[in-house]
Structure 1
Protein backbone atom coordinates (compact mmCIF):
# COMPACT_ATOMS: atom_id res chain seq x y z
CA UNK A 1 0.00 0.00 0.00
CA UNK A 2 1.31 3.43 -0.91
CA UNK A 3 0.78 7.08 -0.09
CA UNK A 4 0.15 9.38 -3.05
CA UNK A 5 1.28 12.99 -2.69
CA UNK A 6 0.24 15.81 -5.00
CA UNK A 7 2.71 18.60 -5.70
CA UNK A 8 5.52 16.40 -4.42
CA UNK A 9 8.29 18.77 -5.50
CA UNK A 10 6.51 21.88 -4.20
CA UNK A 11 6.51 23.80 -0.94
CA UNK A 12 3.71 21.81 0.69
CA UNK A 13 4.03 18.41 -0.96
CA UNK A 14 7.80 17.93 -0.67
CA UNK A 15 7.86 17.98 3.17
CA UNK A 16 5.00 15.45 3.27
CA UNK A 17 7.01 13.11 1.04
CA UNK A 18 10.03 13.51 3.31
CA UNK A 19 8.12 12.77 6.51
CA UNK A 20 6.46 9.66 5.07
CA UNK A 21 9.64 8.37 3.44
CA UNK A 22 11.57 8.84 6.69
CA UNK A 23 8.92 6.67 8.38
CA UNK A 24 9.53 3.91 5.86
CA UNK A 25 6.30 4.38 3.92
CA UNK A 26 5.91 3.61 0.24
CA UNK A 27 5.41 6.99 -1.42
CA UNK A 28 4.26 7.93 -4.92
CA UNK A 29 5.28 11.48 -5.77
CA UNK A 30 2.96 13.18 -8.24
CA UNK A 31 4.58 16.06 -10.08
CA UNK A 32 4.13 17.83 -13.38
CA UNK A 33 7.89 17.66 -13.94
CA UNK A 34 8.71 14.55 -15.94
CA UNK A 35 12.42 14.87 -15.08
CA UNK A 36 11.92 15.25 -11.31
CA UNK A 37 13.78 13.08 -8.83
CA UNK A 38 12.28 12.82 -5.35
CA UNK A 39 14.29 11.13 -2.61
CA UNK A 40 12.48 8.23 -0.98
CA UNK A 41 9.62 8.17 -3.50
CA UNK A 42 8.60 6.76 -6.85
CA UNK A 43 7.96 9.67 -9.18
CA UNK A 44 4.88 9.67 -11.37
CA UNK A 45 4.62 12.61 -13.79
CA UNK A 46 1.00 13.72 -13.67
CA UNK A 47 -1.02 16.90 -13.61
CA UNK A 48 -4.67 17.54 -12.75
CA UNK A 49 -6.02 17.45 -16.30
CA UNK A 50 -7.33 13.88 -16.51
CA UNK A 51 -9.65 12.20 -14.00
CA UNK A 52 -8.89 8.77 -15.46
CA UNK A 53 -5.13 9.21 -15.04
CA UNK A 54 -5.64 10.52 -11.50
CA UNK A 55 -7.87 7.55 -10.68
CA UNK A 56 -5.16 5.20 -11.91
CA UNK A 57 -2.67 6.91 -9.58
CA UNK A 58 -5.08 6.85 -6.62
CA UNK A 59 -6.21 3.25 -7.01
CA UNK A 60 -5.12 1.07 -4.09
CA UNK A 61 -3.59 4.01 -2.19
CA UNK A 62 -3.50 3.87 1.59
CA UNK A 63 -3.56 7.65 1.66
CA UNK A 64 -3.78 10.67 -0.64
CA UNK A 65 -2.53 14.19 0.14
CA UNK A 66 -4.08 16.95 -1.97
CA UNK A 67 -3.72 20.69 -2.19
CA UNK A 68 -4.70 22.93 -5.08
CA UNK A 69 -1.98 24.67 -7.07
CA UNK A 70 -2.06 28.37 -7.81
CA UNK A 71 -4.01 28.81 -11.03
CA UNK A 72 -6.82 30.78 -12.61
CA UNK A 73 -10.19 30.14 -10.92
CA UNK A 74 -11.57 28.25 -13.92
CA UNK A 75 -8.56 25.96 -14.00
CA UNK A 76 -8.83 25.25 -10.27
CA UNK A 77 -12.48 24.29 -10.64
CA UNK A 78 -11.53 21.90 -13.44
CA UNK A 79 -8.80 20.39 -11.23
CA UNK A 80 -11.35 19.84 -8.47
CA UNK A 81 -13.78 18.10 -10.79
CA UNK A 82 -11.04 15.73 -11.93
CA UNK A 83 -9.81 15.04 -8.39
CA UNK A 84 -13.30 14.34 -7.07
CA UNK A 85 -14.16 12.09 -10.02
CA UNK A 86 -10.91 10.18 -9.52
CA UNK A 87 -11.50 9.76 -5.78
CA UNK A 88 -15.01 8.45 -6.43
CA UNK A 89 -13.69 5.94 -8.96
CA UNK A 90 -10.48 4.81 -7.23
CA UNK A 91 -11.62 5.15 -3.59
CA UNK A 92 -8.30 5.61 -1.80
CA UNK A 93 -8.49 4.54 1.84
CA UNK A 94 -7.89 8.04 3.19
CA UNK A 95 -7.71 11.59 1.77
CA UNK A 96 -6.15 14.62 3.46
CA UNK A 97 -6.74 18.01 1.84
CA UNK A 98 -4.90 21.21 2.79
CA UNK A 99 -6.77 24.43 2.14
CA UNK A 100 -3.39 26.21 1.97
CA UNK A 101 -4.75 29.01 4.14
CA UNK A 102 -7.54 29.95 1.74
CA UNK A 103 -10.26 30.27 4.40
CA UNK A 104 -11.24 33.63 5.84
CA UNK A 105 -14.15 34.10 8.17
CA UNK A 106 -15.21 34.69 11.72
CA UNK A 107 -12.49 34.30 14.37
CA UNK A 108 -13.17 30.63 14.91
CA UNK A 109 -11.94 27.32 13.58
CA UNK A 110 -12.71 25.89 11.11
CA UNK A 111 -12.41 29.02 8.98
CA UNK A 112 -15.16 30.06 6.62
CA UNK A 113 -14.41 28.98 3.07
CA UNK A 114 -16.37 30.82 0.35
CA UNK A 115 -19.09 28.48 -0.90
CA UNK A 116 -18.25 29.26 -4.51
CA UNK A 117 -14.52 28.54 -4.10
CA UNK A 118 -12.63 25.58 -5.50
CA UNK A 119 -11.65 24.51 -1.97
CA UNK A 120 -15.29 24.38 -0.86
CA UNK A 121 -16.23 22.40 -3.98
CA UNK A 122 -13.47 19.89 -3.28
CA UNK A 123 -14.53 19.45 0.36
CA UNK A 124 -18.15 18.93 -0.70
CA UNK A 125 -17.01 16.40 -3.28
CA UNK A 126 -15.01 14.46 -0.73
CA UNK A 127 -17.99 14.43 1.62
CA UNK A 128 -20.28 13.15 -1.10
CA UNK A 129 -17.79 10.46 -2.13
CA UNK A 130 -18.07 8.89 1.33
CA UNK A 131 -14.33 8.22 1.53
CA UNK A 132 -12.51 8.82 4.80
CA UNK A 133 -11.09 12.34 4.73
CA UNK A 134 -9.86 15.25 6.81
CA UNK A 135 -9.15 18.88 6.03
CA UNK A 136 -6.05 20.77 7.18
CA UNK A 137 -6.78 24.47 7.69
CA UNK A 138 -3.64 26.57 8.19
CA UNK A 139 -4.00 30.31 8.68
CA UNK A 140 -0.89 32.08 7.30
CA UNK A 141 2.39 30.44 6.32
CA UNK A 142 5.60 31.52 8.02
CA UNK A 143 7.31 31.10 4.65
CA UNK A 144 5.49 34.25 3.51
CA UNK A 145 7.98 36.13 5.70
CA UNK A 146 10.74 34.96 3.35
CA UNK A 147 9.53 37.10 0.47
CA UNK A 148 12.59 39.04 -0.72
CA UNK A 149 10.95 42.40 -0.01
CA UNK A 150 10.25 41.33 3.57
CA UNK A 151 13.60 39.68 4.28
CA UNK A 152 15.67 42.48 2.74
CA UNK A 153 14.07 45.03 5.06
CA UNK A 154 14.62 42.81 8.09
CA UNK A 155 18.28 42.23 7.30
CA UNK A 156 19.14 45.64 5.91
CA UNK A 157 16.99 48.01 7.95
CA UNK A 158 15.98 46.03 11.03
CA UNK A 159 12.32 46.44 10.11
CA UNK A 160 9.75 43.69 9.62
CA UNK A 161 7.09 45.14 7.33
CA UNK A 162 3.88 43.19 6.84
CA UNK A 163 0.25 44.04 6.01
CA UNK A 164 -1.22 43.14 9.40
CA UNK A 165 -1.84 45.63 12.17
CA UNK A 166 0.50 45.32 15.14
CA UNK A 167 -2.14 44.04 17.56
CA UNK A 168 -3.54 41.38 15.18
CA UNK A 169 -2.92 37.82 16.49
CA UNK A 170 -2.27 35.10 13.88
CA UNK A 171 -1.74 31.35 14.25
CA UNK A 172 1.24 31.15 11.91
CA UNK A 173 2.30 27.73 10.60
CA UNK A 174 5.18 26.43 8.50
CA UNK A 175 5.08 24.02 5.58
CA UNK A 176 6.81 21.52 7.85
CA UNK A 177 3.93 21.86 10.32
CA UNK A 178 1.49 20.98 7.54
CA UNK A 179 3.57 17.93 6.61
CA UNK A 180 3.74 16.71 10.20
CA UNK A 181 -0.02 17.02 10.62
CA UNK A 182 -0.74 15.47 7.22
CA UNK A 183 1.42 12.43 8.00
CA UNK A 184 -0.51 11.83 11.21
CA UNK A 185 -3.93 12.43 9.66
CA UNK A 186 -3.22 9.99 6.83
CA UNK A 187 -3.05 7.24 9.45
CA UNK A 188 -5.80 8.53 11.75
CA UNK A 189 -9.16 7.79 10.06
CA UNK A 190 -10.82 8.39 13.42
CA UNK A 191 -10.10 12.11 13.03
CA UNK A 192 -12.40 13.73 10.48
CA UNK A 193 -13.58 17.21 9.68
CA UNK A 194 -11.30 20.23 9.83
CA UNK A 195 -8.09 20.51 11.83
CA UNK A 196 -6.67 23.96 12.49
CA UNK A 197 -2.88 24.13 12.19
CA UNK A 198 -0.90 26.97 13.65
CA UNK A 199 0.67 28.53 16.71
CA UNK A 200 -1.45 28.81 19.80
CA UNK A 201 -1.56 31.20 21.49
CA UNK A 202 -1.50 33.23 18.29
CA UNK A 203 1.26 35.81 17.84
CA UNK A 204 1.36 39.42 16.68
CA UNK A 205 3.71 41.30 14.37
CA UNK A 206 5.89 42.58 17.22
CA UNK A 207 6.17 38.98 18.47
CA UNK A 208 7.50 37.97 15.04
CA UNK A 209 9.95 40.88 15.05
CA UNK A 210 11.21 39.79 18.47
CA UNK A 211 11.92 36.29 17.14
CA UNK A 212 13.85 37.74 14.19
CA UNK A 213 15.77 40.03 16.55
CA UNK A 214 16.75 37.13 18.80
CA UNK A 215 17.94 35.15 15.78
CA UNK A 216 19.95 38.03 14.32
CA UNK A 217 21.27 39.30 17.63
CA UNK A 218 20.14 42.87 16.99
CA UNK A 219 17.00 44.99 17.17
CA UNK A 220 14.18 44.38 14.72
CA UNK A 221 10.99 46.41 14.95
CA UNK A 222 7.61 45.68 13.40
CA UNK A 223 5.93 48.08 10.98
CA UNK A 224 2.41 47.46 9.71
CA UNK A 225 1.94 48.36 6.05
CA UNK A 226 -1.19 48.48 3.92
CA UNK A 227 -2.25 45.62 1.65
CA UNK A 228 -1.83 48.04 -1.25
CA UNK A 229 1.81 48.63 -0.29
CA UNK A 230 2.36 44.88 -0.13
CA UNK A 231 0.79 44.48 -3.57
CA UNK A 232 3.09 47.11 -5.03
CA UNK A 233 6.18 45.45 -3.55
CA UNK A 234 5.39 41.91 -4.72
CA UNK A 235 3.90 42.60 -8.17
CA UNK A 236 7.34 42.36 -9.83
CA UNK A 237 7.80 38.95 -8.18
CA UNK A 238 4.34 37.39 -8.54
CA UNK A 239 2.64 39.30 -11.32
CA UNK A 240 -0.32 41.67 -11.17
CA UNK A 241 -3.05 39.03 -10.72
CA UNK A 242 -1.38 37.03 -7.98
CA UNK A 243 -0.28 40.17 -6.13
CA UNK A 244 -3.83 41.52 -6.25
CA UNK A 245 -5.07 38.25 -4.75
CA UNK A 246 -2.57 38.54 -1.90
CA UNK A 247 -3.62 42.12 -1.23
CA UNK A 248 -7.30 41.15 -1.19
CA UNK A 249 -6.56 38.39 1.32
CA UNK A 250 -4.90 40.78 3.76
CA UNK A 251 -7.54 43.44 3.16
CA UNK A 252 -10.17 40.91 4.25
CA UNK A 253 -8.13 39.92 7.30
CA UNK A 254 -8.05 43.56 8.35
CA UNK A 255 -11.78 43.43 9.07
CA UNK A 256 -11.36 40.63 11.62
CA UNK A 257 -10.30 40.75 15.29
CA UNK A 258 -7.80 37.92 14.79
CA UNK A 259 -6.83 35.01 12.55
CA UNK A 260 -6.23 32.39 15.20
CA UNK A 261 -7.09 28.73 15.52
CA UNK A 262 -9.21 27.60 18.42
CA UNK A 263 -7.85 24.92 20.78
CA UNK A 264 -10.78 22.53 20.42
CA UNK A 265 -10.20 22.26 16.65
CA UNK A 266 -6.41 22.38 16.73
CA UNK A 267 -3.77 19.83 15.79
CA UNK A 268 -2.44 20.27 19.32
CA UNK A 269 -5.72 19.10 20.85
CA UNK A 270 -6.88 16.57 18.26
CA UNK A 271 -3.55 14.98 17.30
CA UNK A 272 -1.00 15.96 19.93
CA UNK A 273 1.07 17.73 17.23
CA UNK A 274 2.47 21.11 18.23
CA UNK A 275 3.55 23.50 15.44
CA UNK A 276 6.96 25.15 15.50
CA UNK A 277 7.50 28.43 17.26
CA UNK A 278 8.75 31.25 15.07
CA UNK A 279 12.16 31.02 16.73
CA UNK A 280 12.39 27.29 16.07
CA UNK A 281 11.31 27.74 12.48
CA UNK A 282 13.94 30.41 11.88
CA UNK A 283 16.61 28.12 13.33
CA UNK A 284 15.46 25.14 11.30
CA UNK A 285 15.60 27.02 7.99
CA UNK A 286 19.03 28.42 8.88
CA UNK A 287 17.95 32.06 8.83
Structure 2
Protein backbone atom coordinates (compact mmCIF):
# COMPACT_ATOMS: atom_id res chain seq x y z
CA UNK A 1 0.00 0.00 0.00
CA UNK A 2 1.31 3.46 -0.93
CA UNK A 3 2.19 5.59 2.09
CA UNK A 4 3.12 8.76 0.22
CA UNK A 5 1.01 11.80 -0.51
CA UNK A 6 -1.79 11.45 -3.05
CA UNK A 7 -2.66 14.54 -5.09
CA UNK A 8 -6.26 15.16 -6.12
CA UNK A 9 -7.46 17.63 -8.74
CA UNK A 10 -11.22 18.20 -8.45
CA UNK A 11 -11.30 17.58 -4.70
CA UNK A 12 -14.06 20.15 -4.10
CA UNK A 13 -16.44 18.41 -6.54
CA UNK A 14 -18.66 15.37 -6.07
CA UNK A 15 -16.45 12.70 -7.64
CA UNK A 16 -13.15 14.16 -6.48
CA UNK A 17 -14.67 14.64 -3.05
CA UNK A 18 -15.60 10.97 -2.95
CA UNK A 19 -11.97 10.11 -3.77
CA UNK A 20 -10.78 12.31 -0.90
CA UNK A 21 -13.29 10.66 1.45
CA UNK A 22 -12.04 7.19 0.53
CA UNK A 23 -8.37 8.16 0.80
CA UNK A 24 -8.87 9.73 4.23
CA UNK A 25 -10.79 6.64 5.35
CA UNK A 26 -7.58 4.71 4.63
CA UNK A 27 -5.45 7.21 6.54
CA UNK A 28 -3.75 8.53 3.41
CA UNK A 29 -2.08 11.91 3.13
CA UNK A 30 -4.01 13.98 0.61
CA UNK A 31 -2.93 17.08 -1.28
CA UNK A 32 -5.75 18.98 -3.00
CA UNK A 33 -4.85 21.04 -6.06
CA UNK A 34 -7.24 23.98 -5.93
CA UNK A 35 -7.69 27.28 -7.69
CA UNK A 36 -8.84 29.14 -4.57
CA UNK A 37 -7.54 27.80 -1.23
CA UNK A 38 -9.72 30.34 0.59
CA UNK A 39 -13.01 29.02 -0.77
CA UNK A 40 -15.43 27.45 1.70
CA UNK A 41 -15.07 24.06 -0.03
CA UNK A 42 -11.27 24.17 0.14
CA UNK A 43 -11.28 25.27 3.78
CA UNK A 44 -13.60 22.40 4.63
CA UNK A 45 -10.99 20.03 3.18
CA UNK A 46 -8.23 21.71 5.15
CA UNK A 47 -10.23 21.24 8.34
CA UNK A 48 -10.11 17.49 7.66
CA UNK A 49 -6.33 17.50 7.35
CA UNK A 50 -6.06 17.85 3.58
CA UNK A 51 -3.05 19.85 2.35
CA UNK A 52 -4.07 22.67 -0.01
CA UNK A 53 -1.87 23.76 -2.91
CA UNK A 54 -2.90 26.65 -5.13
CA UNK A 55 -2.55 25.99 -8.86
CA UNK A 56 -3.50 27.58 -12.16
CA UNK A 57 -4.38 25.31 -15.04
CA UNK A 58 -2.78 27.78 -17.46
CA UNK A 59 0.48 27.87 -15.45
CA UNK A 60 2.42 24.63 -16.10
CA UNK A 61 5.03 25.47 -13.49
CA UNK A 62 2.42 25.63 -10.73
CA UNK A 63 1.09 22.22 -11.77
CA UNK A 64 4.50 20.58 -11.83
CA UNK A 65 5.39 22.06 -8.43
CA UNK A 66 2.12 20.82 -6.94
CA UNK A 67 2.78 17.28 -8.21
CA UNK A 68 6.42 17.05 -7.19
CA UNK A 69 7.12 14.22 -4.70
CA UNK A 70 3.55 12.81 -4.73
CA UNK A 71 3.07 9.04 -5.02
CA UNK A 72 -0.19 9.17 -6.93
CA UNK A 73 -2.37 11.66 -8.77
CA UNK A 74 -6.11 11.57 -9.41
CA UNK A 75 -7.72 14.03 -11.76
CA UNK A 76 -10.94 14.66 -13.53
CA UNK A 77 -11.78 17.45 -15.94
CA UNK A 78 -14.41 20.19 -15.55
CA UNK A 79 -17.95 19.57 -16.75
CA UNK A 80 -18.39 20.88 -20.28
CA UNK A 81 -21.68 21.76 -21.96
CA UNK A 82 -20.55 23.86 -24.92
CA UNK A 83 -17.90 23.44 -27.60
CA UNK A 84 -15.87 26.23 -26.00
CA UNK A 85 -16.00 24.51 -22.62
CA UNK A 86 -14.98 21.22 -24.24
CA UNK A 87 -11.89 22.82 -25.77
CA UNK A 88 -11.05 24.26 -22.34
CA UNK A 89 -11.57 20.83 -20.78
CA UNK A 90 -9.10 19.26 -23.21
CA UNK A 91 -6.53 22.00 -22.53
CA UNK A 92 -6.80 21.48 -18.78
CA UNK A 93 -6.66 17.70 -19.09
CA UNK A 94 -3.60 17.69 -21.33
CA UNK A 95 -1.86 20.26 -19.11
CA UNK A 96 -2.40 18.02 -16.08
CA UNK A 97 -1.10 14.98 -17.97
CA UNK A 98 2.01 16.87 -19.08
CA UNK A 99 2.67 18.13 -15.55
CA UNK A 100 2.32 14.63 -14.09
CA UNK A 101 4.78 13.30 -16.65
CA UNK A 102 7.28 16.09 -15.96
CA UNK A 103 6.95 15.58 -12.20
CA UNK A 104 7.41 11.83 -12.73
CA UNK A 105 4.34 10.89 -10.71
CA UNK A 106 4.50 7.11 -10.16
CA UNK A 107 0.79 6.48 -10.86
CA UNK A 108 -1.88 8.65 -12.46
CA UNK A 109 -5.61 7.85 -12.28
CA UNK A 110 -7.85 9.66 -14.76
CA UNK A 111 -11.58 9.84 -14.07
CA UNK A 112 -12.87 9.45 -17.62
CA UNK A 113 -16.29 8.21 -18.78
CA UNK A 114 -17.83 4.94 -19.92
CA UNK A 115 -17.36 4.48 -23.65
CA UNK A 116 -14.26 6.69 -23.89
CA UNK A 117 -12.27 3.87 -25.45
CA UNK A 118 -13.39 5.23 -28.83
CA UNK A 119 -14.87 8.33 -30.40
CA UNK A 120 -18.62 8.17 -29.93
CA UNK A 121 -19.96 11.39 -31.38
CA UNK A 122 -20.82 12.63 -27.87
CA UNK A 123 -18.70 15.80 -27.62
CA UNK A 124 -18.19 15.83 -23.85
CA UNK A 125 -17.27 12.13 -23.94
CA UNK A 126 -14.97 12.37 -26.94
CA UNK A 127 -13.01 15.05 -25.08
CA UNK A 128 -12.15 12.45 -22.45
CA UNK A 129 -11.15 10.00 -25.19
CA UNK A 130 -8.64 12.58 -26.39
CA UNK A 131 -7.28 13.08 -22.87
CA UNK A 132 -6.99 9.30 -22.41
CA UNK A 133 -4.99 9.08 -25.64
CA UNK A 134 -2.71 11.90 -24.50
CA UNK A 135 -2.20 10.19 -21.16
CA UNK A 136 -1.26 6.91 -22.84
CA UNK A 137 1.32 8.67 -25.00
CA UNK A 138 2.79 10.58 -22.03
CA UNK A 139 4.77 7.64 -20.74
CA UNK A 140 3.18 7.84 -17.27
CA UNK A 141 1.95 4.72 -15.51
CA UNK A 142 -1.79 5.32 -15.61
CA UNK A 143 -5.21 3.84 -14.94
CA UNK A 144 -8.46 4.99 -16.52
CA UNK A 145 -11.66 4.68 -14.54
CA UNK A 146 -14.80 5.04 -16.64
CA UNK A 147 -17.96 5.71 -14.65
CA UNK A 148 -21.41 5.19 -16.08
CA UNK A 149 -24.54 7.22 -15.18
CA UNK A 150 -24.63 8.30 -11.53
CA UNK A 151 -27.22 6.77 -9.23
CA UNK A 152 -27.26 10.18 -7.51
CA UNK A 153 -29.10 11.55 -10.55
CA UNK A 154 -32.18 9.75 -9.23
CA UNK A 155 -32.13 12.22 -6.34
CA UNK A 156 -32.13 15.20 -8.71
CA UNK A 157 -32.52 15.45 -12.47
CA UNK A 158 -33.87 11.90 -12.94
CA UNK A 159 -35.90 11.71 -9.73
CA UNK A 160 -39.09 9.63 -9.83
CA UNK A 161 -42.36 11.30 -8.92
CA UNK A 162 -45.39 10.21 -6.92
CA UNK A 163 -48.64 10.42 -8.86
CA UNK A 164 -52.05 9.02 -7.92
CA UNK A 165 -50.56 6.50 -5.51
CA UNK A 166 -47.85 5.32 -7.88
CA UNK A 167 -44.11 5.89 -8.20
CA UNK A 168 -43.57 7.14 -11.75
CA UNK A 169 -40.21 7.27 -13.50
CA UNK A 170 -39.73 8.99 -16.84
CA UNK A 171 -36.50 8.79 -18.82
CA UNK A 172 -35.58 9.32 -22.48
CA UNK A 173 -34.75 5.63 -22.86
CA UNK A 174 -36.80 2.81 -24.39
CA UNK A 175 -38.37 0.53 -21.78
CA UNK A 176 -36.26 -2.45 -22.86
CA UNK A 177 -32.92 -0.64 -22.57
CA UNK A 178 -30.84 -1.33 -19.45
CA UNK A 179 -29.20 1.77 -18.01
CA UNK A 180 -25.69 1.19 -16.66
CA UNK A 181 -25.12 3.09 -13.41
CA UNK A 182 -22.80 3.48 -10.45
CA UNK A 183 -22.78 5.42 -7.18
CA UNK A 184 -20.37 8.32 -6.76
CA UNK A 185 -19.25 6.80 -3.45
CA UNK A 186 -17.99 3.74 -5.30
CA UNK A 187 -16.17 5.83 -7.91
CA UNK A 188 -14.18 7.29 -5.04
CA UNK A 189 -13.49 3.93 -3.42
CA UNK A 190 -12.24 2.33 -6.64
CA UNK A 191 -10.02 5.32 -7.45
CA UNK A 192 -8.57 5.25 -3.93
CA UNK A 193 -7.79 1.54 -4.16
CA UNK A 194 -5.90 2.08 -7.40
CA UNK A 195 -4.01 5.08 -6.02
CA UNK A 196 -3.04 3.28 -2.84
CA UNK A 197 -1.92 0.18 -4.69
CA UNK A 198 -4.37 -2.18 -3.01
CA UNK A 199 -5.89 -3.03 -6.41
CA UNK A 200 -5.03 -2.86 -10.08
CA UNK A 201 -7.14 -2.10 -13.12
CA UNK A 202 -6.96 -4.89 -15.71
CA UNK A 203 -5.07 -3.54 -18.74
CA UNK A 204 -5.11 -0.12 -17.06
CA UNK A 205 -8.87 0.36 -17.44
CA UNK A 206 -11.86 -0.31 -15.19
CA UNK A 207 -15.41 0.40 -16.34
CA UNK A 208 -17.46 1.34 -13.31
CA UNK A 209 -20.86 -0.32 -13.50
CA UNK A 210 -22.55 -1.06 -10.20
CA UNK A 211 -25.88 -2.06 -11.68
CA UNK A 212 -27.76 -2.12 -14.98
CA UNK A 213 -31.54 -2.10 -15.05
CA UNK A 214 -34.30 -1.23 -17.49
CA UNK A 215 -36.61 1.69 -16.84
CA UNK A 216 -39.40 -0.52 -15.46
CA UNK A 217 -36.90 -2.30 -13.21
CA UNK A 218 -35.57 1.03 -11.89
CA UNK A 219 -39.11 2.26 -11.23
CA UNK A 220 -39.91 -1.02 -9.45
CA UNK A 221 -36.87 -0.59 -7.15
CA UNK A 222 -38.14 2.82 -6.04
CA UNK A 223 -41.69 1.52 -5.78
CA UNK A 224 -40.54 -1.32 -3.53
CA UNK A 225 -38.85 1.15 -1.22
CA UNK A 226 -41.96 3.32 -1.12
CA UNK A 227 -44.34 0.38 -0.74
CA UNK A 228 -46.23 1.61 -3.80
CA UNK A 229 -46.88 0.31 -7.31
CA UNK A 230 -44.61 1.73 -9.99
CA UNK A 231 -44.85 2.80 -13.59
CA UNK A 232 -42.26 3.67 -16.23
CA UNK A 233 -42.77 6.03 -19.16
CA UNK A 234 -40.21 6.24 -21.95
CA UNK A 235 -39.81 9.78 -23.25
CA UNK A 236 -38.50 11.00 -26.62
CA UNK A 237 -34.97 12.39 -26.77
CA UNK A 238 -36.42 15.77 -27.69
CA UNK A 239 -37.34 16.39 -24.04
CA UNK A 240 -33.63 16.90 -23.33
CA UNK A 241 -32.45 20.51 -23.35
CA UNK A 242 -29.55 20.25 -25.79
CA UNK A 243 -27.87 18.13 -28.45
CA UNK A 244 -25.11 17.07 -26.03
CA UNK A 245 -27.58 15.40 -23.68
CA UNK A 246 -29.46 13.84 -26.57
CA UNK A 247 -26.25 12.35 -27.94
CA UNK A 248 -25.37 11.05 -24.46
CA UNK A 249 -28.68 9.23 -23.98
CA UNK A 250 -28.43 7.88 -27.51
CA UNK A 251 -25.06 6.46 -26.51
CA UNK A 252 -26.54 4.99 -23.30
CA UNK A 253 -28.93 3.00 -25.48
CA UNK A 254 -26.15 1.84 -27.79
CA UNK A 255 -23.86 0.76 -24.95
CA UNK A 256 -26.71 -1.20 -23.37
CA UNK A 257 -26.47 -3.70 -26.21
CA UNK A 258 -23.42 -5.19 -24.50
CA UNK A 259 -24.15 -6.37 -20.94
CA UNK A 260 -21.49 -5.40 -18.39
CA UNK A 261 -19.51 -7.65 -16.10
CA UNK A 262 -20.86 -6.51 -12.75
CA UNK A 263 -18.18 -8.52 -10.95
CA UNK A 264 -15.34 -6.37 -12.35
CA UNK A 265 -15.89 -3.40 -10.05
CA UNK A 266 -16.64 -5.70 -7.09
CA UNK A 267 -13.25 -7.37 -7.52
CA UNK A 268 -11.82 -4.00 -6.43
CA UNK A 269 -14.63 -2.75 -4.15
CA UNK A 270 -16.69 -5.71 -2.88
CA UNK A 271 -19.22 -3.39 -1.20
CA UNK A 272 -20.18 -1.69 -4.50
CA UNK A 273 -23.82 -0.66 -4.30
CA UNK A 274 -26.59 -1.99 -6.50
CA UNK A 275 -29.40 0.49 -7.13
CA UNK A 276 -31.58 -1.13 -4.44
CA UNK A 277 -28.68 -0.87 -1.97
CA UNK A 278 -28.04 2.75 -2.94
CA UNK A 279 -31.73 3.55 -2.37
CA UNK A 280 -31.48 2.04 1.11
CA UNK A 281 -28.06 3.52 1.92
CA UNK A 282 -29.20 7.05 1.05
CA UNK A 283 -32.46 6.60 2.95
CA UNK A 284 -34.43 7.60 -0.14
CA UNK A 285 -37.99 8.57 0.66
CA UNK A 286 -40.78 8.99 -1.88
CA UNK A 287 -41.74 12.54 -2.81
CA UNK A 288 -44.87 14.04 -1.36
CA UNK A 289 -47.93 13.52 -3.48
CA UNK A 290 -49.02 16.73 -5.26
CA UNK A 291 -51.86 18.59 -3.59
CA UNK A 292 -55.31 18.02 -5.02
CA UNK A 293 -56.87 21.30 -6.12
TM class by smaller structure = 0.7 to 0.9
Aligned residue number for residue 58 of structure 1: 67
- Secondary structure at the counterpart of residue 171 of structure 1: strand
Superposition misfits of 4+ residues, deviation over 6 angstroms:
none
Q: How does 1:186-205 map to 2 (within 5 A)?
A: 186-188=195-197, 190-191=200-201, 192-199=203-210, 202-205=212-215
Post-superposition shift, 1:263?
A: 5.6
Post-superposition shift, 1:261?
A: 2.5
Aligned residue number for residue 222 of structure 1: 232
Distance in 1 separating the partners of 2:271 and 2:172: 26
Q: 1:136 to 1:146 in 2, by over 3 A?
A: same
Distance in 2 separating the partners of 1:118 and 1:257: 21
Aligned residue number for residue 31 of structure 2: 28
Q: What's the CA shift string for 1:35-54, capped at 9, x where partnerless?
A: 22213412233343222211
Alignment partner of 2:274 out of 249, 273, 277 = 277
Q: 1:259 to 1:61 in 2, by over 3 A?
A: farther
Post-superposition shift, 1:26?
A: 0.3
Q: Tell me if structure 1 keeps the 8 A contact 2:147–2:207.
A: yes
Aligned residue number for residue 185 of structure 2: 176
Q: Tell me if structure 2 keeps the 8 A contact 1:180–1:273.
A: no
Q: Tell me if structure 2 keeps the 8 A contact 1:143–1:174.
A: yes
Aligned residue number for residue 250 of structure 1: 249
Q: 1:5 to 1:256 in 2, by over 3 A?
A: closer
Post-superposition shift, 1:224?
A: 1.2
Q: How does 1:8-157 map to 2 (within 5 A)?
A: 8-34=11-37, 35=39, 36-37=42-43, 38=45, 39-71=48-80, 72-101=85-114, 103=115, 111-114=117-120, 117-148=126-157, 150-151=158-159, 153-156=160-163
Q: Tell me if structure 1 keeps the 8 A contact 2:33–2:55.
A: yes
Which ranges of structure 1 fall in alignment gaps of 5 or more residues?
A: 105-110, 232-242
Distance in 2 separating the partners of 1:40 and 1:217: 42
Q: Tell me if structure 1 keeps the 8 A contact 2:179–2:256.
A: no
Post-superposition shift, 1:2?
A: 0.6
- Secondary structure at the counterpart of residue 254 of structure 1: helix
Q: What's the CA shift string for 1:8-43, capped at 9, x where partnerless?
A: 111100011011111110001223343222134122
Post-superposition shift, 1:246?
A: 1.4
Q: Tell me if structure 2 keeps the 8 A contact 1:58–1:92.
A: yes
**TM-score, length-scaled by structure 2:** 0.81
Q: Tell me if structure 1 keeps the 8 A contact 2:113–2:128.
A: no
Aligned residue number for residue 164 of structure 1: 173
Q: RMSD of the alignment, in Å?
A: 2.4
Q: Tell me if structure 1 keeps the 8 A contact 2:161–2:168.
A: yes
Which ranges of structure 2 fall in alignment gaps of 5 or more residues?
A: 285-293
- Secondary structure at the counterpart of residue 93 of structure 1: coil
Q: What's the CA shift string for 1:121-156, capped at 9, x where partnerless?
A: 2222222222221111122111222234x32x5245
* Structure exhibiting the larger radius of gyration computed from Cα positions: 2
Q: Tell me if structure 1 keeps the 8 A contact 2:35–2:56.
A: yes
